[in-house]
Amino acid sequence: MNRVNQECVETLRYLSKEEAVSMETELLRDYRFGREQLAELLGHACAVAITKIFPLSSLEKRQPTLLVLCGPGQNGCVGLVCARYLRVFEYNPTVFCHERSREGLHQDLTVQCEKMDLPFLSYLPTEVQLVNDAYNLVVDAVLGPETEPETEALTSALQAMRGVKIPIVSLDIPSGWESDDSNTDQINPALLISLITPKRCAQSFSGPHFLAGRFLPYDIQKKYQLNLPKFAGTDCVVEL
Amino acid sequence: MNRVNQECVETLRYLSKEEAVSMETELLRDYRFGREQLAELLGHACAVAITKIFPLSSLEKRQPTLLVLCGPGQNGCVGLVCARYLRVFEYNPTVFCHERSREGLHQDLTVQCEKMDLPFLSYLPTEVQLVNDAYNLVVDAVLGPETEPETEALTSALQAMRGVKIPIVSLDIPSGWESDDSNTDQINPALLISLITPKRCAQSFSGPHFLAGRFLPYDIQKKYQLNLPKFAGTDCVVEL
């Protein structure tokens, strides 16, 4: 690693939950980005990151099956787009949404997946061995940094993830972790994909870690002193 | 070229305007894709295609300057997203929008470009030599296949493009061409980037030709017998 890269890594900032929320508000309100636009570009980038660490050729099971767990909020929207692109990249994703979201974007993204013939599970098997046997990995798009009420369905998804032995890929933060702290009795993903910027809890994550989303205006990068690493070529993700 | 590829090229379908319009209606109404979502993914893919044929290192002028001409409709929206990604990929795009669009998405995408510090021209120089001298190439996102009323500002943009000597990159169809026919007394782009599917007029285009947008559900590909070529890896564009 040369000095320039080292300097970037040293000074890369991990945002607190408060900072992440305020940056997102600015992006939506002042920079006029749309939620639909952000879900699309982030979900696409997450799928690309997954192909880098878990290429089709590396999967152990005969079929390239993945289980994508989607929460009812923004994290779940990114998960739905990610599932759609994983299908385009020739994986076989199955989706589980805890409950039908009443949010329009979530519903639209669900229809897009259904129309791509992605199977949806109506409930999660309580026996985690069934998940271990059926899928190569689990994509965790259940909870993001925003606080969401923990419903029974969410609890069951978190419990399932604590029990599975196949690798977990977490989008933005590992579900159940506090955004500002690590929490090691929770799930332990094999791959973490931070969305837009890494959050504080990611500092204690030691596995492969990607940043998804290459669109941040320079002014906002400067304002939050992000010191993002350089993306190569036209890549939409970068390994941190 | 092996037999399989040849077969694909032979049977790739170029849609009539009527078919293209009806497919788009289905994508928006039945598949629940959003215009914001489509503009984002298509604009990104167009910028990636431009880096392939006109990489930074190939540009003749000292600064990697580009002029992106955006119409008031959907083609212009894709052009605005493309301009933003070209900036992210370290080009220096300057944008010209013929008139302020009253459409919300167009306005939001314009603000995103402005906040990325992209310069906007308030009028096009009548002397095309100024355009030849200042920019390495022109991105033509003026008119798509949909019929739009030809305003004075649009006419001046088309006239400027007929006069310039620097390469033109056209998004979807070369502006001024009829979607279903070629029209050789019109502009003659150096690169054509078809959006979603190629339109009939592209059949008579002999330069490098890319397809942008890798998201079409298989059912709709089958219904319109598109026979799209295979995209490599996670590429969002493919050369036709």
Per the DSSP assignment, residues forming a β-bridge with B137 are B66
Q: What pLDDT score was predicted for residue A78?
A: 98
> Pick from B32, B41, B234: which is nearest to A89 by CB?
B234
CA B192, CA A36: separation in Å to the nearest integer? 27
> Pick from A40, A109, A215: which is nearest to B88 by CB?
A215
- Whether B218 and A111 lie within 8 Å, measured CB to CB: no
CA A219 to chain B, closest CA, distance in angstroms equals 8
Per the DSSP assignment, residues forming a β-bridge with A120 are A95
Q: What pLDDT score was predicted for residue B27?
A: 97
Identify all chain B residues contacting A41, using CB atoms and an 8 Å cutoff. Answer: 40-41, 44
Identify all chain B residues contacting A85, using CB atoms and an 8 Å cutoff. Answer: 215
Amino acid at B65: T
- Whether A112 and B32 lie within 8 Å, measured CB to CB: yes
With beta carbons less than 8 A apart as the criterion, state whether B37 and B141 touch.
Answer: no
Per residue of chain B (240 residues), give pLDDT as tens.
444 444 444 589 999 999 999 999 999 999 999 999 999 999 999 999 999 999 999 999 999 999 999 998 999 999 999 999 999 999 999 999 977 777 899 999 999 999 999 999 988 888 999 999 999 999 999 988 876 666 777 788 888 899 999 999 999 999 888 777 766 667 899 999 999 999 998 998 999 999 999 999 999 999 999 999 999 999 999 999
CA B169, CA B75: separation in Å to the nearest integer? 13
Q: Is the pLDDT of residue A8 over 80?
A: no
| Residue corresponding to tokens 């090691």 | A184
> Pick from B39, B48, B108: which is nearest to A32 by CB?
B108
The burial of A9, by beta-carbon neighbours within 10 Å (0-12 exposed, 13-18 middle, 19 or more buried), is given as exposed
Identify all chain A residues contacting B39, using CB atoms and an 8 Å cutoff. Answer: 37
Helices A104-115 & A74-88 angle (0-180, nearest 10): 20
Q: Is the pLDDT of residue A184 over 70?
A: no
With beta carbons less than 8 A apart as the criterion, state whether B142 and B75 touch.
Answer: yes
Q: Is the pLDDT of residue A211 over 80?
A: yes
Please tell me which residue of chain A has the smallest CA distance to B114: A31
Closest CA to B88 of A42, A220, A231: A231
Q: What pLDDT score was predicted for residue B7?
A: 47
**What would you report as the CA-atom Rg of chain B, rounded to the nearest whole angstrom?**
17
**B180 DSSP assignment:** T
Q: What pLDDT score was predicted for residue A154?
A: 77
Q: Rounded to 5 degrees, what are φ and ψ at A94?
A: -115, 140
CA A65, CA A67: separation in Å to the nearest integer? 7
H/E stretch holding B138 reads strand B137-141
The chain-wide mean pLDDT, for chain A, equals: 90
Q: What pLDDT score was predicted for residue B2?
A: 45
Q: Which residues of B36-49 are buried (b: 16+ CB within 10 A; e: fewer)?
A: bbbbbbbbbbbbbb
Higher-pLDDT residue of B177, A54: A54
CA B186 to chain A, closest CA, distance in angstroms equals 32
Higher-pLDDT residue of B143, A109: A109
Q: What is the ipTM of this complex?
A: 0.91
Dmax (CA) for chain A in angstroms is 51
- Whether A115 and B51 lie within 8 Å, measured CB to CB: no
- Whether A36 and B34 lie within 8 Å, measured CB to CB: yes
Whole-structure pTM value: 0.93
The two structure tokens encoding residue B49: 């295609």
CA B221 to chain A, closest CA, distance in angstroms equals 11
Would strands A168-171 and A65-70 be described as parallel, antiparallel, or unpaired?
Answer: unpaired
- Whether B218 and A116 lie within 8 Å, measured CB to CB: yes
Please tell me which residue of chain B has the smallest CA distance to A217: B116
Q: Left (φ > 0), alpha (ψ -120 to 50) or beta: where does B233 sit?
A: left
> Pick from A37, A107, A111: which is nearest to B36 by CB?
A37
The burial of B129, by beta-carbon neighbours within 10 Å (0-12 exposed, 13-18 middle, 19 or more buried), is given as exposed
> Pick from B31, B105, B234: which is nearest to A111 by CB?
B31
With beta carbons less than 8 A apart as the criterion, state whether A70 and A141 touch.
Answer: yes
Q: What pLDDT score was predicted for residue B3?
A: 46
Q: What pLDDT score was predicted for residue B183?
A: 64
Q: What pLDDT score was predicted for residue A4?
A: 47
Identify all chain B residues contacting A34, using CB atoms and an 8 Å cutoff. Answer: 36, 105, 108
Per the DSSP assignment, residues forming a β-bridge with A156 are none
CA A178 to chain B, closest CA, distance in angstroms equals 30
Helix (H, G, I), strand (E, B) or coil at B31: coil
CA A136, CA A92: separation in Å to the nearest integer? 10
With beta carbons less than 8 A apart as the criterion, state whether B16 and B204 touch.
Answer: no
Identify all chain A residues contacting B30, using CB atoms and an 8 Å cutoff. Answer: 115
Identify all chain B residues contacting A219, using CB atoms and an 8 Å cutoff. Answer: 115, 117
Interface size between A and B, measured as CB pairs under 8 A: 82
Q: Is the pLDDT of residue A3 over 50?
A: no
Q: What pLDDT score was predicted for residue A11?
A: 83
Q: Rounded to 5 degrees, what are φ and ψ at A74?
A: -60, -40
Identify all chain A residues contacting B107, using CB atoms and an 8 Å cutoff. Answer: 32
